[in-house]
Amino acid sequence: MADRFVIDTVAFIHYLTDKLPEKSENIFKRAENGNIKLILPSISIGESIYVFKKQKKDANEEISGMFENLSKCAYIEVKDLDLQDWKNVAVSKIPELHDRMVAATAKKYKVPLITNDSEISKSGEVKTIWD
């Protein structure tokens, strides 16, 4: 199994809310134990803020908790895209821009992506894991 994984927004939110399926949960547990690293694309932070605010008008507690978790968490690295990554975004066949950005991050590091997004999985552009 890989020593690093990229996590998308849904995986990150499911982690924060203890709702991950078993296979993904086991990967996060391995990360918590220091055995692997997780990469969170920076776009997923913005998407998480959007999701929390959409679910609850006053989501300050959830958002603060997310930032606190990230600031203390040695096993999740937040990464941005560079110019080559944006070239991959431009040629991707994945419909949604934010999903292209997440997939480009997985391509950059040549690692599997933890996601339940069927459009990303169907694209075949990156290996995906969920259940």
What single string gives the DSSP state of each residue in 48-84? Answer: HHHHHHHH-S--HHHHHHHHHHHHH-TTEEEE---HH
Q: What is the mean pLDDT of residues 44-58?
A: 92
Query: CA–CA separation, 113 vs 130, rounded Å?
Result: 9
The yes-or-no verdict on residue 1 having pLDDT over 80 is no
Indicate the number of domains in the chain.
1
Tokens standing for residue 106: 């997985």
Note the pLDDT of residue 57: 79
Could you tell me how many helices (H) and strands (E) the chain has, helices first?
7, 5
CATH number at residue 89: 3.40.50.1010
pLDDT bin (cut points 50, 70, 90) of residue 76 is very high
Q: Which domain, by its residues, includes 60?
A: 4-129
pLDDT bin (cut points 50, 70, 90) of residue 95 is very high
Note the pLDDT of residue 2: 73
Query: CA–CA separation, 47 vs 115, rounded Å?
Result: 14
- Answer yes or no: are the C-beta atoms of 3 and 52 closer than 8 Å: no
Tokens standing for residue 108: 């950059």
Tokens standing for residue 70: 């990230």
Q: What is the mean pLDDT of residues 91-117?
A: 97
Tokens standing for residue 46: 């913005």
Note the Cα 68 to chain centre separation in Å.
17
Note the Cα 16 to chain centre separation in Å.
12
Note the pLDDT of residue 105: 97
Note the pLDDT of residue 128: 97
Note the pLDDT of residue 56: 85
CB atoms inside a 10 Å sphere around CB 103:
29
Mean pLDDT of all residues in the chain?
Answer: 95
